[in-house]
Amino acid sequence: MSTDDIRNIIEAGKARLGIEFGSTRIKGVLIDPAGNPIAQGDHEWENQLVNNIWTYDLDDVWKGVQDCYANLARDVQEKYGVSLTKLDAIGISAMMHGYLPFDGEGKLLAPFRTWRNTITGEAAQALTARLNFNIPQRWSIAHLYQAILNGEAHVPQIRFLTTLAGYVHWQLSGEKVLGIGDASGMFPIDSSTCDFDGAMIDSFDSLVADKGFPWKLKDILPQVMKAGDCAGRLTEAGAKLLDPSGQLQPGVQMCPPEGDAGTGMTATNSVASCTGNVSAGTSIFAMIVLEKALKKVYPEIDMVTTPTGKPVAMVHCNNGTGDITAWVNLFSEFARIMGVDADKNEIYARLFNKAMEADVDCGGLLAFNYFSGEHITGFEEGRPLFARTPDSRFTLANFMRTQLHAALASLKIGTNILLVEEGVKVNRIYGHGGLFKTKGVGQSILAAALNVPVAVMETAGEGGAWGIAILAGYMADRKQGDTLEEYLTGKIFAGKVGEVIAPQQKDVDSFNDYISRYVEALPIERAAVDHIR
């Protein structure tokens, strides 16, 4: 498509916008009606540990998204010579889970508690037992029940509980709704009704009935919507929130706000049964769409849904590439003091490629990437840790391979439950996110970790912002009877399978060797948590 063609699409208001709030970056992607990215903008941000709570200030939400949108609009102007004033559709996505309780006036009642917190163990355990359904610590219902158990004064005042994506969508559209995939990380979903599970809602209300709260759970949760539904329109106030310059016109249709898991499935065409994907960023998770129910409840496995409500087994690890980022920042600083003006993306690429020269046993090096707790291995807190013996082969290649193995170690432990113990069928895993930007490296190591072929699309680096833009496009384009699977396969990914890497036995052996040493050394991480303050 020519520059003139794209300019005409933008001027006619036919472009679609997706914005995703990730852990370290807010990213916006503008696409054409065929789903091709045509412009983007971003804004870096970071969570803060305040009073032992991982949080983001809501003021930073709006400063960040405004800067992201302004950068995207600037990209449009520079590339195509036009102003961004009209859009066909908008989608908002964000990190799933967490706790955002509001009163009847829309006032936030407690600081935003993100997915990263591991402070709801008592509540999660009690709810899992009562509902016979795994309730992870990061789920919204676990945060709510823990607040109740703690006797927090704000709980009776709650009139709306939502996620970050749900909050932003509400402010932009006035609608208190949530996509079913994001909703499935708040409270269990009944896939037969595509709504919160009614029997479990009743069970929760009975559990807290003696507290005398002036609300029932259903009353404070958002309305659940599926992909393809129209979830409202950008209001005049919402347009000014997103674009304070006043150029963006209101009235744009908005798709249901989704979580990063749902946008990851969309971005990798992994919404049909026996497909799966791995999203690898600051956190890392695998999603496998199931053919049948699991044999039992596993505390390591979350049951969520696709954006259309199909059941999905999710292995979520709080810690992914964050420690790699920290090391890259250190190497970048060293380059600067040596007088080398090195591009950070180039540093990533060179270090990742160097990892492919490592010894099979990574030289005997070992790392734990735990910035925060990791429920897969039973840690409520984390301490990033690197260890070696006096006779380890401490080379740059071995060091980087160790860091990449560490980023996937917890995921390996969790997915073994599905692939080995449960015998879940998965034909191929699609990878997306920052880990896969360096061609072939993260992809081959993931293939080795899971012993499954891994495909990466050209759009893998676009991640969830592109995925939610595609969901906005699906809503705008949807014809009666079209399924999301048909839309993705027939239009967005038609003829595209991506580059596939099959696991190599030497790499599988290398990862298995690492995992055996990793599991044996978990007491070292425990000692670090207990003794490093």
Range among 127-131, 419-423, 475-479 with highest mean pLDDT value: 127-131
Specify which residues 90 forms β-bridges with. Answer: 17, 254
Of the candidates 95, 100, 94, 149, the residue with the CA atom closest to the CA atom of residue 120: 149
- Number of domains, the chain: 1
State both tokens at 1.
């498509």
- Does residue 131 or residue 116 have the better pLDDT? 131
Residue 485's pLDDT is 92
Residue 264's pLDDT is 86
Residue 460's pLDDT is 54
User: In this structure, is the dihedral angle defined by the CA atoms of residues 181, 183, 189 and 190, taken in order, positive or negative?
Assistant: negative
CA gap 31, 88 in Å, rounded? 10
Domain presence at residue 354: no
CA gap 263, 278 in Å, rounded? 12
Residues 333, 349: contact at Cβ < 8 Å? no
Specify which residues 123 forms β-bridges with. Answer: none
**Quick check: 481 pLDDT over 80?**
no
Specify which residues 29 forms β-bridges with. Answer: 18, 40
Strands 195-196 and 53-55: unpaired
CA gap 491, 32 in Å, rounded? 12
Of the candidates 472, 468, 469, 474, the residue with the CA atom closest to the CA atom of residue 487: 474
Q: How would residue 480 be classed by pLDDT, with cut points 50, 70 and 90?
A: low
pLDDT in tens, 54-97: 999 999 999 999 999 999 999 999 999 999 999 999 999 999 99
Domain presence at residue 519: no
State both tokens at 149.
């158990």
pLDDT in tens, 13-37: 999 999 999 999 999 999 999 999 9
Domain presence at residue 84: no
Residue 462's pLDDT is 62
Residues 151, 106: contact at Cβ < 8 Å? no
Instruction: Give pTM, 2 decimals.
Output: 0.82
Domain presence at residue 254: no
pLDDT in tens, 169-209: 999 999 999 999 999 999 999 999 999 999 999 999 999 99
Domain presence at residue 132: yes
CA gap 127, 148 in Å, rounded? 12
User: For residue 419, what is the DSSP state?
Assistant: I
Domain assignment of residue 201, given as a range: 97-162+187-220
Domain presence at residue 131: yes
User: In this structure, is the dihedral angle defined by the CA atoms of residues 454, 458, 461 and 464, taken in order, positive or negative?
Assistant: negative
Q: Kindly report the CATH number assigned to the domain that includes residue 123.
A: 3.30.420.40
Domain presence at residue 171: no
Helix or strand (DSSP H, E) at 340: none
Domain presence at residue 114: yes
Residues 3, 80: contact at Cβ < 8 Å? yes
**Quick check: 461 pLDDT over 60?**
no
Q: How would residue 375 be classed by pLDDT, with cut points 50, 70 and 90?
A: confident
State both tokens at 200.
């479990």
